[in-house]
Structure 1
Amino acid sequence: MFTSKKNLQLIDYKNSYYCQQQRKKRRYKWFKISLLLLLIISLALVFMPFAQSSQLDSPEQINRSNALIHGPQLLFENPNKNQDPNKSQSTNSAMRATFPVDIKANIEINGLVAYAEIKQTFINPYTIALAGKYQFPLLENSAVKQLMIKMGDVEILGEIMEKRAAKAIYQKAKKQGRKASLVEQQRPNLFTNNIANIPAQSTVVVTLKFIMPVSFSQGKFNLRLPLALTDRYQPRSTSYSFNESSGHSPGHSPEHSSERSPSNFTRDLTYVSANISTNLSPKELPEPFKTSTTRSPTTHIRSVARSQSSINIVLNSGIPITSIVSDSHKIQLRELNSEQNAYFITLDKTHVISDKTFDLTWQLIASNQPQISSFTQEVSGEHYTLLTFFPPETAVAQVIARDIIFIIDTSGSMQGGSMQQAKASLQLALLQLNNNDSFNIIAFDNETELLFPVTHMASADNISTAQQFIDNLRANGGTEMYRPLSNALMMKKDKAQSAKAIRQIVFITDGAVANEFELMQLLNNAQENFRLNFRLYTVGIGVAPNGYFMKKAAQFGRGSYVFIQNNREVQRKMNHFMTKISQPALTNIDLMLDNQIHQQVEIYPKKIPDLYFGEPLQIALKSQFPITSVQLTAETASTPFYQQLIIDDRQTSKGISSLWARGKIEDLVDSLIVGANKDQVKSQVIATSLNHQIISPYTSFIAVEKQPEASALLAKNNLSSVKKPQDNAVKAHESLLVAMPQTSLDWQLQFLLGIALILLNVVLIKIRNIAWLKNAWLASRAFKLVSGNEKTH
């Protein structure tokens, strides 16, 4: 059989077909390589989230974002089998925080007291149980009342215990695998809690109840609820000493300070100023004056603002108010009565993102007479009363006659900028004097130099002489404060000065002394034993003045204090300060009660300070029976002042007993300065702290999971038998801080993407196989045509 010429032309297709097949083979080779790479990427996306859940971010990765921490946070510890759980945390540990998915705040404001309940919900994204730290930003002077933590189905409730007992209970519970929480670190504006054994991938609900202050200045009230805080560096604390026999106190070394205004002596959530230093061992100190010498680990936090917040406020001012506004959030308000003193306030939206502090301001309706609000509380059959004095609003306040003595520190520690600020402050203060004032200047280092032997009237010639005296001052020598302070207390007045002129002492110094206790004893004895009527005001100079001494000296001297950090602040702060102390609204305030009914009344502060224009004054009382009226006596610049206050027992408020207890604890700790028995003070402080559940220098907040019932415990043991090796490993590793992986909350998206890519690989392989079979069939057919095995039609 012969093949036609036309058919032979078809047979000539062989060469082009061969080349085409070679090209297809090369494309198929690259296709397999691409498919393999795609498969590897798909598998990586699927399994990467699981690998990340047990790995830590490097410090370099964490440092990429370290600017702003938003809101409360829960930081997890790094499980390290080589770390002893009883040892302190490594200084090189990195920390990463989870943020609450929801925040609910309910606040009740009564006068200058706000009682807040904050509920926050966190999630532990890890596949293992871990210990962690809970942090919440607090305003200075806040007092934590209750802490409740719910982890899964378990609730633990915090309570105040003696410090050593609380720590022992926490460590024992942690080793046993029970859920526990302990306040370990305190700052004036940060509440920090350790939480042990947080279950894997569980929900953690933290409910915090605390008292927070309402500020008042120039007729305006302000409440701030911190929902955001900035990253901070914790400096290494220095040690200091207290010699009981000599009465010497902790001193201060400015060069070792990094905070300008340390905390108060017995302030809740902080035990003592971190800026006090000494030459002796801290073991010689009474317990309230000890500080930790352990440096806190550097904290690296990512900046995230995803928490949703809702805020509800009931405001009862006790006196008429107006102009309720928020500069931070849009709010809605509803009046609760017709007396202009009670309102319900909420956010304009149900939920808002927690990326900034909530700020609320309201205005006092002005009056030309002092206004007094009162609130009461009954606890365990005892009655507590809180009186708040608001100064009058006047266009021009009447200036009192003063016999004022300026003490300026010229010791070696004041060299440089501090001396310039001190001299500038003193020059400005002289310009604030009037013809009714008498004055003197005492300069001191290790020697004392007086401008005049006694105070002189503030005439132009005397002020000019004083200005020349100030110009010639130089900083050098030691710091001997006792003699100039005692000279100022005992100095005689100018004969031309009025007998009613109040003695004021303005102390300008950086406070770099080692005998603070001795100076405070001098102030206390001058008032208690010598019945001297004076006011001591301290002006802190320099970048790191001894804030502890400034505050406590002013407190013992029934005065106030101000800090001036640089030359730009001198004029503004000194003008305001001198104006303030020249125009007190009320001085020598005294409260009188019915002695036949109220025989045992405790009042704090015991030494009632003066009431100044633009600043309120709070006094807390505890009595056996309800107080229905109080008689108030005081003095104004020109006349005596008297007012009878009727107490409205319907104006009740939470937290008054806590404020009273805090005042008592501070007074007890201060009594150590004047020689009180250490053991008795400790016993009384602990008793007050436990009775009122308020933290103190000798107590801590502890929350431990209660032991389950026998049946529940057995069931729990059975269920956890499979997980026992993992749990034991966790318990052995819970000391260092761990960084939360960046993708720990977004792994679901990666997982689904990886699965989708795998399915795409399978589809592409199927398509390729079908194409290969079709090409094989075509090649086979072509071969048959060439070989003549298939008939051609």
Structure 2
Amino acid sequence: MFVKLPLWLYLVSVCYFSFPYLSLASQDAYLNRTITNEADEITQGLISYQINSQHKQMFALDTQVEMTVSGLVNRVTVKQIFNNVEDSWIHAKYIFPLPENSAVDGMNLLIGDRVIEGVIKPKQQAKQQFEQAKQQGKQASLVSQQRTNVFTTQLANIGPLQQVTVEITYLQTISYQDGLFSLRFPLVVVPRYRPDFQRSTFSETKELISPMLDPLNVQRNTEGQNASASHKVSIHIDIDGGFDITKLSSPFHDIQQHQNGRKTNVSLQGKVPLDRDFVLQWQTSVGDEVAATVFFQTGKTYQDKANADVNLDQPKDIYAMAMLFPPTLTSKAQQQISRELILVIDTSGSMAGESIIQAKQALNIALTALKPNDSFNIIEFNSSVSALFSDAKPANSVYLQEAKRFIGSLNADGGTEMAPALDRALTSSINANAKAGSLRQVIFMTDGAVSNEAQLFEQISYQLQDSRLFTVGIGSAPNSHFMTRAARVGRGTFTYIGKSEEVEQKISQLLTKISQPILTDVELYNLDGSVPDYWPAQIDDVYQSDPATVSFKMPADQLQPVIISGHINGQYWQQQLDFNQGRAAVGIDLLWANTQITALELSQSHANRQKVAKQVEALAMLYHLVSSQTSLLAVDVTPVNPHHPDKSEHQLATLLPAGWQASASQQGVLPQTATASRLWLLIGMSLLALTLLYGLWLKGLLPAQRLILNSAE
């Protein structure tokens, strides 16, 4: 016998029992829509293609990285070897990460015994010529920049059972911070969050997403291949830093080393997965004796071959890179000034797991460094933004205790809406009653997993005012493109924390050195008072243990010493750099041009966007560099594929960065730590279900109603 239920209770019970299935269905629909409708998905370390409507993938058989460090310059060759395991011709596309300061200047496509050298061309022209070569049945390769640290390579007409090798070469400068020389090589492209661009008043940018790779698919798709080599890398490094190395380590990987005087050879112990960035750090016997050094080069790396005879008698330019080590000073008590410290923490879903633990630990350490005359506030953001206080509060025991409780309650979930968080930190939360002369500093802790970097750079530049923005990269593979450039625009520094054991040391070092800049108002000029062509145009403040690095150019017939000057503790200071005491180096012109390109792109806005694009293209063409406006193209002149079918190119997943978490339902795709769109989708479907049920109830067509009517009869 059935009991007649009220309509509202009947509908609630039906929705209650159907909710899990409705939720899963809406999630699947949302995720499928996200992936299939996105034209700019990115994959890493593998080639994907389509044959007869069947989606397949070809894994890298081998990835080899060779580095040669000379002083402050690192020349790198990245070699990736792929195999066409099919008995038909294919086109392919894959992606790879590089350091954000890499100057990519070379690419070779190796097919069998042939070596096809890449040539720099304007981006659209290179793309058109690649597509033309593909249709003509020619073998070709195209390397393009998506971000300064994300590049794509397209391959055309790879023969049946043919092996293909792509070599990418670039230069980068070695970092020196907190007494350590270090280089960082990214091994994984972090999945990027896509914000709601329509809500932003700043420029939009090209979207990038990266679905996660299901480890089970790796095993299934590497059957018949060397599965153990898939998505793994070997690294070998030769270091000649100019001084004896006293201490060398890699915090995240096991290495083996062999030292021979000033030279040191380093390599990984076997191959490692492409799931977290490789970092190598070393100290030298330089100690506190060296105040400054200069590296220089005469002429360009890539001479203009077409006009070689015309330029033969013309004087060549000198390209130089100056590195200034500030003197070690002990801050005096009377020199300490009050600070307004704004701590911003990313609590989005991409921070789940080890990253949020590190970030919360960093916040607690930052609180202990506050002094009684300081003020502070904490801002957390995911899909929305919330602040502990409406504005900065004094660093007393009452407010500090409240802050610790706030930190303890933080969890990682939701989207990565950085724009509102930056707005809150740089403008909305400014304390109008702050002490005169106080130093306002914003420490932004995040993994930087966003795709709208250009929009955020423009926002920071517009809203910074008198604040200083310091970025702290959290996790195994933070988006260094965003973190480094955001700190540059914000006139601060970037600190990378890769594991929990580093948090206390690095946060303490950061807070100590930013409490008082060592060298301010830094300028560069020639001995005769003229100003060389140097970049960045606005040299950053110099903090304890951090050097100032400046790239500049001058005519060889006007070669003279340069002066770096500034203020230390309010007193004028200068240092003279003589070229006869400098060291010759290779590729300094590429680093100078790359630094200028970075400065130009950071100055980009709605008003000057086209002008900047033309300037970047001209500079990159002149110095043979891949940029946002240029690409490397290699085309074999002889057609080899008589059928040259046009096959679609599809993109697959990348390895999940070490320490990231993903639910079972999200395995194999990007975790959508997004806005409330999924919730609205669920609500909409729930309302639709309720409407249908209500219509059936009015007509008496529900199963329970029929049974009740039958029993009554």
TM-score (structure 2 length as normaliser)? 0.62
Find the counterpart in structure 2 of residue 96 from structure 1.
Answer: 58
Q: Distance in 1 between matches of 2:64 and 2:458?
A: 48
The alignment partner of 1:385 has SS state of strand
Asked if residue 208 in structure 1 is aligned to residue 168 in structure 2, the reply is: yes
Correspondences of 1:10-49 after superposition (within 5 Å):
none
Residue 388 of structure 1: which of 323, 327, 331 is its match?
323
User: Are residues 398 and 425 of structure 1, via their aligned partners in 2, closer, same or farther at CA, if it must alter by over 3 Å?
Assistant: same
Question: Which whole-Å deviations, capped at 9, do the CAs of 1:324-364 have from their partners, x for residues lacking one?
Answer: 678855444444xxxxxx5374879xxx9655798765422
Q: Higher Cα Rg: structure 1 or 2?
A: 1
Alpha-carbon separation, structure 2, partners of 1:562 and 1:361: 14
Q: Retained in 2: the 8 A contact 1:235–1:295?
A: no
Inter-CA distance 656–523: structure 2 relative to 1 (3 Å threshold):
farther
Corresponding residue SS for 2:138: coil
Task: Look up the match of 1:432.
Answer: 369
Secondary structure of the structure 2 residue equivalent to 1:685: helix
Match of 1:172 in 2: 132
Distance 1:331-1:429 versus aligned 2 partners, 3 A rule: closer
Residue type matched to 2:69 in 1? I
**2:173 is the counterpart of 1:240:** no
1:661 Cα offset (Å): 1.8
- Cα distance between partner residues in 1 of 2:83 and 2:77: 20
- What SS is found at the alignment partner of 2:583? coil
Structure 2 match to 1:683: 614
CA distance 1:489–1:447, shift in 2 (3 Å): closer
**Match status 1:375 vs 2:315:** no
Question: 1:520 and 2:460 equivalent?
Answer: yes
Partner of 2:143: 183
Please list the CA deviations of residues 499-537 of structure 1 after superposition, one character each: whole Å capped at 9, or x if unmatched.
xx672323568899998577535456x4xxxxx6x6344
What is the identity percentage for the equivalent residue pairs of Structure 1 and Structure 2?
27
C-alpha distance after superposition, 1:360-416 (max 9, x if no partner): 65422253356322111221533211112345568x6667522312346799999x9
From the superposition, tell whether residues 398 and 110 of structure 1 become closer, same or farther in structure 2 (CA, over 3 Å). farther
Evaluate the alpha carbon distance shift between residue 319 and residue 570 of structure 1 in structure 2; reply closer, same or farther with a 3 A threshold.
Answer: closer
Give the drift of 1:664: 1.5
- In 2, the alpha carbon distance for the partners of 1:516 and 1:186 equals 16
Hey, what does 1:290 align to over in structure 2?
206
Partner of 1:504: 440
Contact 1:390 1:615 in 2 (8 A): yes
Contact 2:391 2:429 in 1 (8 A): no
- Tell me the distance in 2 between the aligned counterparts of 1:421 and 1:122: 37
User: Is 1:162 equivalent to 2:122 in the alignment?
Assistant: yes
Cα deviation per residue 1:227-257 (whole Å; 9 max; x = unaligned)? xx57x785675563597xxxx225xxxxxxx
1:653 to 585, 596, 603: 585
Number of the residue aligned with 1:305: 229
Deviation at 1:583, TM superposition (A): 5.0
The alignment status of 1:147 with 2:104, answered yes or no, reads no
Q: Is the 8 A contact 1:486 1:522 kept in 2?
A: no
How far the C-alpha of 1:565 sits from its partner, in A, is 11
- Contact 2:107 2:118 (8 Å CA) reproduced: yes
Q: 1:577 to 1:118 in 2, by over 3 A?
A: closer
Matched, 1:607 2:538: yes
Please name the residue that 2:91 is paired with.
131
User: Aligned with 1:168: secondary structure?
Assistant: helix
The alpha-carbon deviation at position 561 of structure 1 amounts to 5.0
CA offsets 1:472-511 (integer angstroms, 9 cap, x no match) = 9899xx959668745888967747xxxxx67232356889
- In the TM superposition, 1:378-527 aligns within 5 A as 378-379=299-300, 381-391=316-326, 400-407=335-342, 429=366, 431-434=368-371, 439=375, 449-450=390-391, 463-464=396-397, 466-467=399-400, 485=426, 494=435, 503-506=439-442, 516=456, 519-523=459-463, 526=465
Aligned to 1:79: 51
What is the Cα deviation at residue 620 of structure 1?
0.9
> How does 1:241-390 map onto structure 2 within 5 Å?
248-249=201-202, 285=204, 289-292=205-208, 300=218, 302=222, 303-305=227-229, 311=236, 313=238, 315-318=239-242, 321-323=245-247, 328-335=254-261, 342-343=262-263, 345=265, 354-355=271-272, 361-368=281-288, 371-377=291-297, 378-379=299-300, 381-390=316-325
The match for 1:586 among 519, 533, 539 is 519
- 1:560 pairs, out of 465, 472, 493, with 493
User: SS of the residue aligned with 1:93?
Assistant: strand
- Provide the residue aligned with 1:641 in structure 2: 573
Partner of 1:671: 603
1-structure distance, mates of 2:501, 2:266: 40
Counterpart of 1:5? none
2:312 is aligned to: none
In 1, Cα distance between equivalents of 2:392 and 2:182: 44
Deviations 1:45-76 (A, max 9, x none): xxxxxxxxxxxxxxxxxxxxxxxxxxx96636
- Alignment match, 1:86: none
1:701-725 CA-partner distances (Å, limit 9, x unpaired): 222223x5xxxxxxx8xxx8xxx8x
CA distance in 1, matches of 2:45, 2:425: 50
Contact 2:520 2:567 in 1 (8 A): yes
Q: CA deviation at 1:682?
A: 1.2
- CA 1:144–1:556 in 2, change beyond 3 Å: closer, same or farther? closer
Count matched residues. 558
Q: CA, structure 1 residues 618+165, in 2 after alignment: closer, same or farther (shift >3 Å)?
A: same
Which residue number corresponds to residue 699 of structure 1?
630
- Which moves more between the two structures, 558-567 or 581-590? 558-567
| In 1: Cα distance, 2:406 partner to 2:652 partner | 55
The one-letter amino acid of 1:304's match is S
Distance (whole Å) between structure 2 residues aligned to residue 140 and residue 328 of structure 1: 24
Deviation per residue, 1:274-312 (Å, 9 max, x gap)? xxxxxxxxxxx4xxx322579799874643339997957
- The alpha-carbon distance between structure 1 residues 549 and 692, as it changes in their structure 2 partners (threshold 3 A), is closer
**In structure 2, do the counterparts of structure 1 residues 193 and 422 end up closer, same or farther at CA, with 3 Å as the change threshold?**
closer
Secondary structure in 2 matching 1:109? strand
| Structure 2 Cα separation of the partners of residues 76 and 410 of structure 1 | 37
- Aligned equivalents of 1:576 and 1:402: distance in 2? 18
| Alpha-carbon RMSD | 5.4
Alpha-carbon distance, 1:173 to partner: 0.6
CA distance in 2: counterparts of 1:422 and 1:73, whole angstroms: 29
What stretches of structure 1 of length at least 5 have no aligned partner? 1-71, 83-91, 251-284, 336-341, 453-457, 496-500, 527-531, 709-715, 740-793
Relative contact order, higher structure (CA 8 A, sep 6+): 2
**Which residue is 1:777 aligned to?**
none
CA distances 1:747-786 after superposition (whole Å, capped 9, x unpaired):
xxxxxxxxxxxxxxxxxxxxxxxxxxxxxxxxxxxxxxxx
Alpha-carbon spacing, 1:641–1:139, altered in 2? closer, same or farther (3 Å)? same
* Counterpart contact for 1:137–1:190, Cα < 8 Å: yes
In structure 2, relative to structure 1, the CA distance for the partners of 1:321 and 1:198 (3 Å cut) is: same
